Amino acid sequence: MYYIDYKGIRFIFKTQIRKNSTKITLRIKDGILSFTSPYRLKEKEIIKMIDINFDAIIKEIEKSKLKEAKPNIIHYLGKAYNVKIIDANYNNVEIIDDDFIIYTKNNNDSYNKKIVHSFYKDFLNNYISYEIIKAKNIYGIDFPIEIKYKTVKSYFGNCYWKKNLIDFNTILAKYDPVYIKTVLYHELGHFFNHDHSANFYFKCEMAFPGFKKYDRALKKIHYKDLY
């Protein structure tokens, strides 16, 4: 790995010789320039390539910097908390004032994310188990419904009406409780209307006044959390 200063900017680069190549190519990954050529490049050739592609290179480097700058916040029930990670011989989450404290036995991103979403799942299990009793009474649902929790990217909830099953995304615990209730009433509504027809939204609105407003608002909220 080498560097070269040009126009007041330091560019990190690497080169690779491929004798079967017919031209010089440039790729950018993680802010690093990667040159491939059929021979060893001279400094003036590298500078020429940087100059020709200057704007595109700067744009890609800025993108890489944004990716590296991870947010240090986590949302819980609609509020943003500062994340504090503490190495421990146990896993736990504790919220004190404005801090979201993660106690972890294995301090890495994927492991810590599991701790956070396990915490979310425990909350949702208690909250939804309580709220669904009232919601089922309002809808007039008298059959048992199995509830499961997953950490996914594609949906907040999913109703499998043939199986009397609803999946809820653990990410819901990031949102204000009114939005959790919105998703609950949404999924219960699918036991009556399997699509998203006007009748479906009318049924949900009757069961949970304000449903349409909250449903639209939820789609516009995008949290960029550490986990």
pLDDT tens, position by position, 95-107:
999 999 999 999 9
Helix or strand holding residue 46 (H, E)? helix 43-52
Please give the pLDDT value at position 202: 97
**And the tokens for 179?**
């939005």
Identify the sign of the CA torsion 191, 130, 220, 165. negative
Residues of the chain with pLDDT > 70, as a percent, come to 98
Please give the pLDDT value at position 168: 98
Residues of the chain with pLDDT > 90, as a percent, come to 86
Tell me the angle at which helices 198-207 and 211-219 cross, rounded to the nearest 10 degrees.
Answer: 110
Mean pLDDT across the chain, nearest whole number? 94
- Domains recognised in the chain with CATH numbers: 2-68 (no CATH), 74-219 (3.30.2010.10)
Say if residues 79 and 33 touch (Cβ distance below 8 Å).
Answer: no
Strands (DSSP E) found in 67-221: 73-76, 79-87, 92-96, 99-104, 146-150, 157-160, 165-169
The pTM of this model reads 0.71
Helices and strands (H, E) in the chain, number of each type: 6, 11
Please give the pLDDT value at position 68: 62
Please give the pLDDT value at position 71: 82
Please indicate whether residue 80 or residue 61 has the higher confidence score (pLDDT).
Answer: 80
